[in-house]
Amino acid sequence: MTFDPKQLNGIALAYLGDAVYEVYIREHLLKRGLVRPAALQRAAKDFVSAKAQAALIAGMQTADLLSAEETEVFKHGRNAKSYTHAKHTDVVTYRISTGFEALFGYLHLEGRDDRVAELAAWCIQYVEEGKTGHGKTAASTK
């Protein structure tokens, strides 16, 4: 039996992608010297909240960073029927962030962890530069 990530629904891809992306963010924050749980949680929000992820995918699109295939995966995740939503954001933002996470899950399942690392590094830099409306959090919440 062959496993094809393209056959998974967007919610399943996002389920994995959330965890894949979060590992990069947690590692980044620890390397920045954050160790207190409350500070880690506050700083992580600037990278992993639905609003941050929606801003990140918009930045990727503006920078023409995604391939046609990656854009399709994002749209697949964004358009997936979800019966839940985030407590602190609107439905549209939540769906966009689901597409963001689906992209990371898909790339990981495809064995393209080099691309995952590349996109995660881009996201970290984008947030640190304050382009999502946040930034420099890791440095300022030690």
pTM (whole model) above 0.85:
yes
Question: Is 135 domain-assigned?
Answer: no
Share of the chain above pLDDT 70, in %: 92
Give the max Cα distance, the chain.
50
Question: Is 1 domain-assigned?
Answer: no
Question: Is 25 domain-assigned?
Answer: yes
SS3 8: coil
The amino acid occupying position 128 is E
Spatial separation of the C-alpha atoms in residues 109 and 11, rounded to whole Å: 14
pLDDT of residue 42: 92
pLDDT in tens, 25-65: 999 999 999 999 999 999 999 999 999 999 999 999 999 99
Question: Is 138 domain-assigned?
Answer: no
Tally of structural domains, the chain: 1
Question: Is 141 domain-assigned?
Answer: no
- The residue range of the domain holding 38 is 6-127
Residues in the chain: 142
- CATH code of the domain in which 57 resides: 1.10.1520.10
Token digits of residue 121: 């590094």
SS3 91: helix
Active site residues: 18
Please answer whether residues 85 and 98 qualify as being in contact, where contact means their C-beta atoms are separated by less than 8 angstroms: no
Spatial separation of the C-alpha atoms in residues 18 and 7, rounded to whole Å: 18
Question: Is 64 domain-assigned?
Answer: yes
- Mean per-residue pLDDT, 87-110: 93
